[in-house]
Amino acid sequence: MHNSRCKLGALIVATLISLASVPVLAFSTDEINQTSLQRDFKLLDVDSDGKLSAAEIKKDSMFDFRSFSKADKNHNGSLNQDEHATYKSKVQQEEAKQAASDSAITTKNKSKYLIEKNFKSFKVSVETKDNIVVLSGFVDNQATKNRAEQIATSVKGVKSVKNGLLVKP
Ligand SMILES: [Ca+2]
Ligand SMILES: [Ca+2]
Protein backbone atom coordinates (compact mmCIF):
# COMPACT_ATOMS: atom_id res chain seq x y z
CA MET A 1 0.00 0.00 0.00
CA HIS A 2 2.66 2.40 1.12
CA ASN A 3 4.86 1.37 -1.76
CA SER A 4 2.23 2.01 -4.42
CA ARG A 5 1.53 5.44 -2.96
CA CYS A 6 5.22 6.22 -3.29
CA LYS A 7 5.14 5.15 -6.90
CA LEU A 8 2.11 7.32 -7.56
CA GLY A 9 3.89 10.26 -5.95
CA ALA A 10 6.93 9.69 -8.10
CA LEU A 11 4.74 9.48 -11.19
CA ILE A 12 3.07 12.78 -10.35
CA VAL A 13 6.42 14.45 -9.79
CA ALA A 14 7.74 13.06 -13.08
CA THR A 15 4.65 14.30 -14.90
CA LEU A 16 4.94 17.76 -13.35
CA ILE A 17 8.60 17.96 -14.34
CA SER A 18 7.85 16.95 -17.91
CA LEU A 19 4.98 19.42 -18.11
CA ALA A 20 7.13 22.19 -16.69
CA SER A 21 9.89 21.58 -19.18
CA VAL A 22 7.66 21.69 -22.27
CA PRO A 23 7.49 25.49 -22.63
CA VAL A 24 11.22 25.76 -21.99
CA LEU A 25 11.99 23.35 -24.81
CA ALA A 26 9.88 25.43 -27.19
CA PHE A 27 12.34 28.34 -26.94
CA SER A 28 15.99 28.55 -27.79
CA THR A 29 18.30 30.01 -25.14
CA ASP A 30 18.66 33.19 -27.17
CA GLU A 31 14.91 33.69 -27.25
CA ILE A 32 14.66 33.17 -23.51
CA ASN A 33 17.44 35.67 -23.01
CA GLN A 34 15.75 38.20 -25.31
CA THR A 35 12.49 37.84 -23.41
CA SER A 36 14.17 38.25 -20.04
CA LEU A 37 16.04 41.31 -21.30
CA GLN A 38 12.76 42.84 -22.44
CA ARG A 39 11.26 42.10 -19.05
CA ASP A 40 14.25 43.68 -17.31
CA PHE A 41 13.86 46.75 -19.47
CA LYS A 42 10.15 47.12 -18.69
CA LEU A 43 10.79 46.74 -14.97
CA LEU A 44 13.50 49.39 -15.01
CA ASP A 45 11.54 51.79 -17.20
CA VAL A 46 9.45 53.14 -14.33
CA ASP A 47 7.89 56.03 -16.26
CA SER A 48 7.29 53.74 -19.30
CA ASP A 49 8.67 56.22 -21.82
CA GLY A 50 10.55 53.47 -23.67
CA LYS A 51 13.99 54.60 -22.54
CA LEU A 52 16.07 54.23 -19.43
CA SER A 53 17.48 57.30 -17.75
CA ALA A 54 20.61 57.15 -15.60
CA ALA A 55 18.35 57.28 -12.54
CA GLU A 56 16.21 54.38 -13.75
CA ILE A 57 19.18 52.16 -14.58
CA LYS A 58 20.61 52.57 -11.08
CA LYS A 59 18.36 49.74 -9.90
CA ASP A 60 20.27 47.29 -12.09
CA SER A 61 23.44 46.36 -10.19
CA MET A 62 25.17 45.59 -13.49
CA PHE A 63 25.26 49.28 -14.41
CA ASP A 64 27.31 52.05 -12.91
CA PHE A 65 28.02 55.47 -14.39
CA ARG A 66 30.80 54.17 -16.62
CA SER A 67 28.86 51.24 -18.02
CA PHE A 68 25.86 53.50 -18.59
CA SER A 69 27.81 55.86 -20.83
CA LYS A 70 29.39 52.86 -22.58
CA ALA A 71 25.99 51.33 -23.27
CA ASP A 72 24.62 54.69 -24.46
CA LYS A 73 25.91 54.25 -28.00
CA ASN A 74 24.27 57.36 -29.49
CA HIS A 75 25.18 59.47 -26.42
CA ASN A 76 21.75 60.92 -25.87
CA GLY A 77 21.81 60.36 -22.11
CA SER A 78 19.37 57.47 -22.08
CA LEU A 79 19.25 53.83 -23.13
CA ASN A 80 16.69 52.53 -25.56
CA GLN A 81 15.69 48.89 -25.55
CA ASP A 82 18.30 48.00 -28.13
CA GLU A 83 21.18 49.73 -26.34
CA HIS A 84 20.16 48.11 -23.07
CA ALA A 85 19.84 44.61 -24.54
CA THR A 86 23.07 44.82 -26.54
CA TYR A 87 25.12 45.93 -23.59
CA LYS A 88 23.55 43.59 -21.09
CA SER A 89 23.88 40.47 -23.23
CA LYS A 90 27.51 41.37 -23.92
CA VAL A 91 28.19 41.61 -20.18
CA GLN A 92 26.33 38.34 -19.57
CA GLN A 93 28.43 36.61 -22.20
CA GLU A 94 31.61 37.93 -20.63
CA GLU A 95 30.46 36.78 -17.21
CA ALA A 96 29.70 33.31 -18.56
CA LYS A 97 33.14 33.17 -20.16
CA GLN A 98 34.78 34.26 -16.91
CA ALA A 99 32.83 31.66 -14.92
CA ALA A 100 33.94 28.93 -17.33
CA SER A 101 37.57 30.00 -17.07
CA ASP A 102 37.33 30.17 -13.26
CA SER A 103 35.92 26.67 -12.99
CA ALA A 104 38.59 25.35 -15.37
CA ILE A 105 41.27 26.83 -13.10
CA THR A 106 39.67 25.26 -10.02
CA THR A 107 39.54 21.86 -11.71
CA LYS A 108 43.15 22.05 -12.88
CA ASN A 109 44.31 23.14 -9.46
CA LYS A 110 42.44 20.33 -7.72
CA SER A 111 43.81 17.69 -10.05
CA LYS A 112 47.34 18.93 -9.38
CA TYR A 113 46.70 18.54 -5.66
CA LEU A 114 45.42 15.02 -6.23
CA ILE A 115 48.69 13.85 -7.73
CA GLU A 116 50.85 15.72 -5.20
CA LYS A 117 52.53 13.35 -2.76
CA ASN A 118 51.62 13.59 0.95
CA PHE A 119 48.95 16.13 0.17
CA LYS A 120 45.54 15.62 1.73
CA SER A 121 43.70 17.39 -1.05
CA PHE A 122 40.29 16.63 0.43
CA LYS A 123 41.07 19.02 3.29
CA VAL A 124 41.83 21.91 0.95
CA SER A 125 39.07 23.89 -0.64
CA VAL A 126 39.79 25.71 -3.91
CA GLU A 127 37.66 28.52 -5.21
CA THR A 128 38.37 30.77 -8.18
CA LYS A 129 36.83 34.15 -8.91
CA ASP A 130 38.04 36.41 -11.72
CA ASN A 131 41.20 34.30 -12.10
CA ILE A 132 42.06 34.74 -8.42
CA VAL A 133 42.39 31.48 -6.49
CA VAL A 134 41.26 31.36 -2.88
CA LEU A 135 42.56 28.46 -0.79
CA SER A 136 40.97 27.51 2.49
CA GLY A 137 40.95 24.50 4.78
CA PHE A 138 43.68 22.74 6.72
CA VAL A 139 47.20 21.47 6.09
CA ASP A 140 49.65 19.67 8.37
CA ASN A 141 52.55 22.09 8.17
CA GLN A 142 53.84 25.37 6.79
CA ALA A 143 55.77 23.66 3.99
CA THR A 144 52.56 22.11 2.64
CA LYS A 145 50.82 25.46 2.90
CA ASN A 146 53.56 27.07 0.83
CA ARG A 147 53.56 24.19 -1.64
CA ALA A 148 49.78 24.51 -2.09
CA GLU A 149 50.20 28.16 -2.97
CA GLN A 150 53.09 27.41 -5.30
CA ILE A 151 51.02 24.83 -7.17
CA ALA A 152 48.02 27.15 -7.42
CA THR A 153 50.23 29.95 -8.74
CA SER A 154 51.59 27.64 -11.42
CA VAL A 155 48.16 26.91 -12.89
CA LYS A 156 47.75 28.61 -16.24
CA GLY A 157 45.55 31.70 -16.15
CA VAL A 158 45.88 32.34 -12.41
CA LYS A 159 46.32 36.02 -11.58
CA SER A 160 47.01 35.65 -7.88
CA VAL A 161 46.47 33.30 -4.95
CA LYS A 162 44.90 34.13 -1.62
CA ASN A 163 46.30 31.53 0.73
CA GLY A 164 43.85 31.14 3.58
CA LEU A 165 45.07 27.68 4.58
CA LEU A 166 45.43 27.00 8.28
CA VAL A 167 48.31 24.95 9.62
CA LYS A 168 46.97 22.32 11.98
CA PRO A 169 49.47 19.59 12.82
CA1 LIG B 1 12.12 55.74 -18.60
CA1 LIG C 1 21.00 56.18 -26.14
Domain boundaries, the chain: 29-95, 97-167
How remote is the CA of residue 6 from the centroid of ligand 2, in Å? 57
Longest dimension (CA), the chain: 70
Across the range 103-119, mean pLDDT stands at 93
Q: Which residues surround ligand 1, an ion (CB under 5 A)?
A: 45, 47, 49
pTM, whole model, 2 decimals? 0.67
How remote is the CA of residue 80 from the centroid of ligand 2, in Å? 6
Look at the domain 97-167 and name its fold. Alpha-Beta Plaits (3.30.70)
61 vs 42: CA distance, rounded Å = 16
* Dihedral class, residue 87 (left if φ above 0, else alpha if ψ from -120 to 50, else beta): alpha
97-167 and 29-95 share a CATH fold: no
3 versus 141: which is more confidently predicted? Answer: 141
Q: So what's the pLDDT on residue 53?
A: 95
Q: Which ligand is nearest to the CA of 77?
A: 2
pLDDT surpassing 80 at residue 33: no
Across the range 8-30, mean pLDDT stands at 57
CATH 1.10.238.10 correct for 29-95: yes
